Amino acid sequence: MRILFLVPYPPGRAPSQRFRFEQYLELLTQAGHHWKMAPFISVATWDILYKPGHALAKATGILGGFLRRLLLLASVPGYDFVFVHREASPIGPPVFEWLIAKVFRKKIIYDFDDAIWLANTSEANKIVAGIKWHQKVDSICRWAHKVSCGNAYLRDYARRFNPNALVNPTTIDTEHLHNQVRDQQQPGRLVIGWTGTHSTLKYLEQVVPVLARLEQEFDFEFRVISNQPPQLPLRSLVFQPWRKETEIADLLGFHVGLMPLEDDRWAKGKCAFKALQYMALGEPALVSPVGMNTEVVTDGYNGYVCATLPEWEAALRRLLQNPTLRAELGQKARQTIVSRYSVAANWPNFLALFS
């Protein structure tokens, strides 16, 4: 089997790529399959993509991506499947997908882990928001052989256009990457943690009042790992820049991990990735009841589902005071990931996409 992966970003950079399919590439090779990854954006463009300025370099990088896509079309006939993650090009209509499906008659596996049919404009992407062509998601779903969706909400949307839409969850490599467990009994200052990109920092605002009250009573650190520092009025706040090289070691510094979300259409498409990472390392996750969170976290068993500020405060207070409870929930959290959301557990489901 020969598979062409059409992806937005360079390998190893974007979490959605790393944890949805890049982890399976070596397994595909071991199973005797052949694959090629073709990113739209070069490493040089990625390095400046979310930085202010550099307008000419960004535009040149985008044009370069379109040129690489055009040149790649000549090789499409040599593949059995074309796996499209999110989109073949970040702006404009789905021309490449149409050519692959209708002209070259190749089987497209269409994969997404966000509600990408919705406009989710931020300061970083507002310039190109008007030409992103969000409506192309519907067309690509129709043309696809199968649609690989991060959660049931995304699957239900895709099934409006294609009955062969299924849930392929974001997974964690518990054998080679998230293969350590936090020692909850280890002495030291307790760390409540959060990790994510600049685009999701806004979700932290809802838990600030809770953390502000608790830091009056308890000595803890609220550690945020991100690509940009948050602006939050908390004396317990410590910012730590995200680095791939130290990703796991940094996350192991958490005792408890937070994943607050707003209950809106965009957040419903979230695939509980933060919770999956915390839980894989034996750390209880505290989550909002939005998106896939309530499928991954069972309240009081491997973490807590918090719908109101009093529930956030009560859950954090229990965990701040009780290391034994943290250890018990953390152990069950790890077991949940290994049995249901690990690469090893999901490998047959992933491989079945190409059938």
Domain boundaries, the chain: 2-168, 190-340
- Cα 25 vs. chain centroid, distance in angstroms? 18
| pLDDT one-digit tens code per residue, 125-138 | 555 556 788 899 99
For residue 151, give every residue at least 6 positions away whose Cβ sits within 8 Å of its Cβ, in sequence order, or none: 113, 167, 169, 269, 270, 271, 272, 291, 292, 295
Domains 2-168 and 190-340 share a fold: yes
pLDDT at 74: 97
- CA proximity to 88, closest of 61, 115, 108: 108
**What mean pLDDT comes out for the span 252-272?**
96
How does residue 123 score in pLDDT terms, banded at 50, 70 and 90? Answer: low
- Split at pLDDT 50, 70, 90, the class of 187 is confident
> Is the per-residue pLDDT at 124 higher than 80?
no
Alpha-carbon span 150 to 113, nearest angstrom: 4
What pLDDT, on a 0 to 100 scale, did the predictor assign at position 188?
85
Q: Give the model's pLDDT for residue 186.
A: 82
150-178 pLDDT per residue, tens:
999 999 999 999 999 999 999 999 999 99
CATH fold group of domain 190-340: Rossmann fold (3.40.50)
pLDDT at 127: 55
C-alpha span between 326 and 322 (Å, rounded): 7
The reported pLDDT for the residue numbered 339 is: 98
CA distance 43 to 229: 23
2-168, superfamily in CATH? Glycogen Phosphorylase B; (3.40.50.2000)
* Residue 67 vs residues 96, 131, 184, 237: alpha-carbon distances, Å: 12, 18, 51, 45
What lies within 8 Å, CB to CB, of 348 at 6+ separation is none
Mean pLDDT of 104-123: 89
